[in-house]
Amino acid sequence: MVNDDGVMSENCAYCQDVAYAKNCYLCFGMWKMQDCYYCRICDQSKFCVDCEGVKLGSELAYESVDSQRIYQCSYLQNCENCTDCVFGFDLKGCSNCLACAGLRQKQYHIFNKPCTKDEYERACMTYGLSTYTGVEKLKAELAAFILKIPRKNMNLQNCENCFGDHLFHCKNVLGYVCTNSQDSKWIERSDAPVWCRDIVQAGSPQWCFDCVTVDDGNMNCFSIYTNQTHNALYCDNCLSSDFLLGCVSLRRKKHCILNKQYTKEDFEALAGNILERMIERGEYGGFFPIELSPFGYNETNANEFFPLAREEVLRRGWKWRDNLPYTTGKETVKPQELPEDIREVADTVVNEILACTKCGRNYKIIQQELEFYRKLGIPLPRRCPDCRNLERLARRNPMSLWRRSCAKCKKDIQTTYPPSRPEIIYCEQCYLAEVY
C-alpha cells in the first residue's frame, strides 16, 4: 500500500494513494478527505460513499460522479453547488430537484417541471427512493429522459482555453478530471498541476513530466510516488528529497544515484555521464517500461480504461494475475434475501457476507457505511465495490476528443461524445443560450 496513514493521514490503512485524509476505507487516488468509503479521485470533501471525481467541499454525497460542492445529494453527475438533489445531470445551483437535467438555480422540480414542496415530497415517497427497486426504476427513467436534454460538448467549469473533460477552475489545460490546473497538457485525475505534461493522479506538482503521483513535487521526470521531492529522475517512492537519479524509497536525501550518496560535484558529473549513455542507447525519455510493473494488467487501472483479454496481454509480454484476491460462494445471505428498504435492514447485516449480483464476488457492509445509508435513506447496494466502480466509470465519456457539429448551429466543435452517440451536443455558445 502507498499512503501516509499515521503520518499525514489518520485511520486510512485500507487506502491506496491517499494523503491528508481521515477515517477513509477502500479509497483510491484522493487527498484531503474525511469519513469516505469506496471513493476514487475525490478531494477536499467529507462523508462521501461510492463517488468518483467529487471535489471541492462536497459533503454527504452518494453515487455521484464529477461534481463539486454538492451537499446531501445522491446519484448526481456533472453537477455543482447543489443541495438535497437526487438523480440529476448537469445541475447548477439547484436544491430539492428529482430526476432533472440541465437546470440552473431551480428548486422543487421533478423531471424539469416545477412543483410545490408537498408535491415534491409525495413524489419522493411514491418513487420509493429508500428501496432498491424504486432506485433502479428511477435510474432507468432518468437515463431515457436526459437523452432529450442538450449537453455541452465538454464538461468544463470556470475554465479558460481548456480542452478535455471534467476540468474545474483551469487555464490553458488539455486533460481530464482535474482541478485548479494551469498551463499543462495530457494530465488526468490531478489537483493543481502547473506547467506539467503527462501527469497522472498527482496533487500540486510543478514542472513535472511523465510521472504518476508526484505530490507537491517540482522538476520530476519519469517518476512515481515522489512526494515533496524535487529534481528527481527515474525514482520510485522517494519523499522529501532533492536531486535523485534512479532511487527507490529514500527519505530526506540529496544528491543520490541508485540510493548512494554523493557530493554535489560528484553527483553532477556522474549523473551527466549516466544520462548521456542512456540517451545514446535510446533508454532515456520515457516512463518505466510496462514489463517492469510488479502488477498484473488485470489488477491495475489500465484494465479499467483500456480492457484487454488475458491472451492479448500475454501476447504483448505483460503480466496477468489469474488468482485475484477475492472469494465467491462464501455468502451468508443471498442477494434476493436482502431487505428492499433500508428502513428494514437490521444492525446484524454488518456481520453477514454478501454476494455481488453481477460478478458473484463476496463483499461486506461496514458499520459506518450502514449508518450513512440510513442517514440518507439509501438502499443496500447489490453489487461489490469493484463492479460499482466500473458502473461509475461507464457513466463518463471516453478520454478522447472527436470532431462533430453542434446540433443547433452546425458549427464544427470538439467533444468527448463520439459521433455515433445519440446525445444532443451543443457548442458552448448554444448550450449557454439554452440553459440560461
SS3 per residue for 278-317:
HHHCCCCCCCCCHHHCCCCHHHCCHHHHCCCCHHHHHHCC
Separation between Cα atoms, residue 321 and residue 316, nearest integer Å: 15
pLDDT digits (tens, 9 = 90+) for 351-360: 999 999 999 9
Range 238-246 contact pairs with CB under 8 angstroms and sequence separation of 24 or more: 243/267, 245/271, 245/274, 245/275, 246/274
- pLDDT above 80: residue 149: yes
Q: Which residues contact 132 (CB under 8 A, 6 or more apart)?
A: 338, 340, 379, 380, 382
Separation between Cα atoms, residue 171 and residue 161, nearest integer Å: 6
Q: Pairing state of beta strands 65-77 and 59-62?
A: parallel
Q: Are 12 and 23 in contact (CB under 8 A)?
A: yes
Separation between Cα atoms, residue 229 and residue 248, nearest integer Å: 12
Q: What is the pLDDT of residue 436?
A: 87
Cα-based distances in Å from 318 to 5, 105, 420? 31, 50, 32
Lowest mean pLDDT among 286-300, 351-365, 373-387: 286-300
Q: Which amino acid is at 408?
A: K
- pLDDT above 90: residue 218: yes
The burial class, CB within 10 Å (0-12 / 13-18 / 19+), for 301 is middle
Q: Which three three-digit cell numbers place residue 231? A: 529534481
pLDDT digits (tens, 9 = 90+) for 133-144: 999 999 999 999
pLDDT digits (tens, 9 = 90+) for 232-283: 999 999 999 999 999 999 999 999 999 999 999 999 999 999 999 999 999 9
Q: What is the pLDDT of residue 6?
A: 80
pLDDT digits (tens, 9 = 90+) for 91-139: 999 999 999 999 999 999 999 999 999 999 999 999 999 999 999 999 9
Separation between Cα atoms, residue 57 and residue 71, nearest integer Å: 9
Q: Which residues contact 143 (CB under 8 A, 6 or more apart)?
A: none
- pLDDT above 80: residue 1: no
**pTM exceeding 0.85:** yes
SS3 per residue for the chain:
CCECECCCEECCCCCEEEECCECCECCEEEEEEECCECCECCEEEEEEECCEEEECCCEEEECCEEEEEEEEEEEEECCEEEECCEEEECCECCEEEEEEECCECCEEEECCEECCHHHHHHHHHHHCCCEHHHHHHHHHHHHHHHHHCCEECCCEECCEEEEEEEEECCEEEEEEEEECCEEEEEEEEEECCECCEEEECCECCECCEEEECCCCCECCECCECCECCEEEECCECCECCEEEECCECCECCEEEECCEECCHHHHHHHHHHHHHHHHHCCCCCCCCCHHHCCCCHHHCCHHHHCCCCHHHHHHCCCCCCCCCCCCECCCCCCHHHCCCEHHHCCHHHHHCCEECCCCCEEECCCHHHHHHHHHHCCCCCCCCHHHHHHHHHHCCCCCCCEEEECCCCCCEEEECCCCCCCCCEECHHHHHHHHC
Separation between Cα atoms, residue 317 and residue 47, nearest integer Å: 42
**Average pLDDT of the chain to the nearest whole number:** 95
Q: Pairing state of beta strands 80-83 and 160-168?
A: unpaired
Separation between Cα atoms, residue 226 and residue 239, nearest integer Å: 6
